[in-house]
């Protein structure tokens, strides 16, 4: 039995199975289903090349396929290919589905409303080489990361990183991102890095931050931390070339929940103890595979749903229809409530076959989301600069 060949093929086969048929998180197999399925679901091309094709070629070249076990492994690899093809087809199709969501949220003619300079900077095609062969590499040579800047007094849980273009252009818009982890784990410099590096490469100033975690901290401590981050940006972002009058807040999973709350409670002194007069308004919100409900059984005020008003800022939401941690029905409900109450545009992109935490890698799916976020923010910024009749 060629064990060195069997292991990568088995990993891909199991991941493909769980990507196509994810197990609910509450099931005993929920965690392995999530972790194996996520990798295969977002990286089908890399899985095919690095873990199926290359090992198969090497196994034949080295004469390892000389037993029943060796040929059984070849059959398993071949049987996995159709599943990977289905996964890849769904991911490739998300670009068109996200485009349709943009049309529905902003109007079919939204592209004509873009500022010419902003429209010219939008990416026309995904980074194919990186997606196909190096999807886990996020860094860019033209972007500098300034790590571990303190914005509060909670030690390492109150540190943030700044990403900016090395040329440090002036007047840059700001994107703040907060990570997920169920409010009990996670760290900055982990999620949505393809988004942060992409925007920073386009001249944005991006911030990724830690925040206090449970059980030592509870709601609204996390939200207060995000408000402190916004206040810090308003005070210090000019040092990195930013103009924080244009400031978007984004988050993944629990961070999406927090970003949604921050966007819907702008300048609310109840969540700004000791800095009540700080400007914590935002230009728009990006909500990625987020949680929409209440905070661990607390009252309804701990849910973003309780804070939707007519003057809510523009929202961009993206959620996978195979998310086993947050049901897609919750995302649909939140988007519907926003559309019914808010006068600002709401873009809701539902990702076919998307799992939770789809924003970890350079993938066809997430790069399509990144391109849409860049276009969405360009549209919002264009509305700010367009003279009103």
Question: What letter would DSSP give residue 40?
Answer: H
Candidates 275, 264, 271; CA nearest to 234 is 275
Query: Annotated catalytic residue: which of 33, 208, 253, 342?
Result: 253
SS3 349: strand
For 201, the 3-state DSSP assignment is: helix
Q: Where are the alpha helices (DSSP H) in the chain?
A: 3-20, 30-42, 44-46, 54-61, 68-106, 116-120, 128-133, 193-201, 221-236, 254-264, 328-341, 364-385
How many helices (H) and strands (E) in the chain? Answer: 12, 8
371 tagged catalytic: no
Of 46, 84, 86, 104, nearest to 372 by C-alpha is: 104
Beta-carbon count within 10 A of 1 CB: 12
Task: State pLDDT tens for residues 9-47.
Answer: 999 999 999 999 999 999 999 999 999 999 999 999 999
Catalytic residue, from 219, 257, 356, 362: name it: 356
pLDDT digits (tens, 9 = 90+) for 182-238: 999 999 999 999 999 999 999 999 999 999 999 999 999 999 999 999 999 999 999
Choose among 202, 150, 189: nearest CA to 370.
Answer: 202
> So what's the pLDDT on residue 325?
97
Is pLDDT at 374 greater than 60 in this prediction? yes
Residue partners of 213: CB distance under 8 A and separation at least 6: 157, 181, 183, 184, 185, 186, 222
Secondary element (H or E) of residue 284: strand 284-288
Q: What is the pLDDT of residue 55?
A: 95
End-to-end CA distance of the chain: 75
pLDDT at 1 over 90: no
Residues whose CB falls within 8 Å of the CB of residue 206, separated by 6 or more in sequence, listed in order = 162, 163, 164, 174, 175, 176, 177, 196, 199, 200
DSSP 3-state of 165: strand
Q: For 310-366, how does the pLDDT look when each residue is reduced to its tens digit (9 = 90+)?
A: 999 999 999 999 999 999 999 999 999 999 999 999 999 999 999 999 999 999 999
Q: pLDDT of 108-148, one tens digit each? A: 999 999 999 999 999 988 889 889 888 998 999 999 999 99
Active-site residue 253, yes or no? yes
Whether residue 333 lies in the annotated active site: no
pLDDT band at 257 (very low <50, low <70, confident <90, very high): very high
């Amino acid at each position: 039995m060629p064990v060195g060949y069997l292991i990568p093929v088995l990993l891909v086969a199991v991941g493909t199975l769980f990507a196509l048929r994810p197990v609910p998180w509450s099931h005993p197999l929920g965690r392995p289903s999530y972790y194996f399925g996520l990798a295969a679901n977002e990286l089908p091309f890399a899985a095919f090349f690095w873990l199926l094709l290359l090992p198969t070629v090497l196994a034949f070249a080295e004469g390892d396929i000389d037993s029943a076990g060796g040929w059984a492994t070849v059959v398993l690899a071949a049987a996995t290919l159709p599943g990977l093809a289905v996964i890849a087809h769904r991911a490739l199709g998300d670009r068109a589905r996200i485009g349709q969501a943009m049309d529905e949220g902003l109007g079919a003619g939204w592209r004509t409303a873009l500022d010419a300079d902003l429209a010219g900077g939008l990416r026309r095609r995904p980074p194919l080489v990186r997606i196909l062969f190096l999807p886990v590499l996020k860094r860019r040579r033209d972007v500098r990361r300034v790590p571990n800047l303190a914005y509060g007094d909670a030690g390492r849980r109150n540190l943030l990183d700044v990403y900016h273009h090395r040329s440090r252009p002036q007047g840059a818009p700001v994107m703040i991102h907060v990570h997920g982890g169920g409010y009990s784990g996670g760290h900055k410099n982990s999620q949505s890095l393809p988004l942060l590096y992409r925007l920073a490469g386009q001249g944005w100033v991006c911030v990724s931050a830690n925040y206090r975690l449970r059980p030592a901290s509870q709601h609204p401590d996390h939200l207060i931390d995000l408000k402190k981050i916004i206040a810090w940006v308003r005070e210090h972002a000019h040092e990195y070339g930013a103009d924080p009058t244009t400031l978007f807040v984004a988050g993944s999973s629990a961070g999406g929940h927090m970003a949604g709350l921050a966007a819907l409670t702008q300048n609310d002194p109840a969540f700004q103890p000791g800095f009540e007069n700080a400007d914590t308004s935002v230009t728009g919100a990006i909500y990625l595979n987020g949680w929409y409900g209440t905070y661990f059984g607390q009252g309804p005020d701990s849910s973003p749903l309780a804070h939707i008003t007519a003057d809510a800022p523009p929202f961009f939401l993206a959620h996978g229809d195979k998310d086993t941690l947050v049901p897609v029905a919750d995302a649909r409900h939140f988007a519907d409530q926003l559309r019914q109450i808010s006068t600002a545009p709401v873009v809701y992109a539902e990702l076919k076959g998307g799992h939770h935490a789809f924003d970890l890698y350079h993938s066809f799916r997430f790069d399509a989301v990144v391109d849409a976020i860049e276009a969405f923010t360009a549209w919002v910024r264009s509305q700010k600069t367009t003279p009103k009749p």
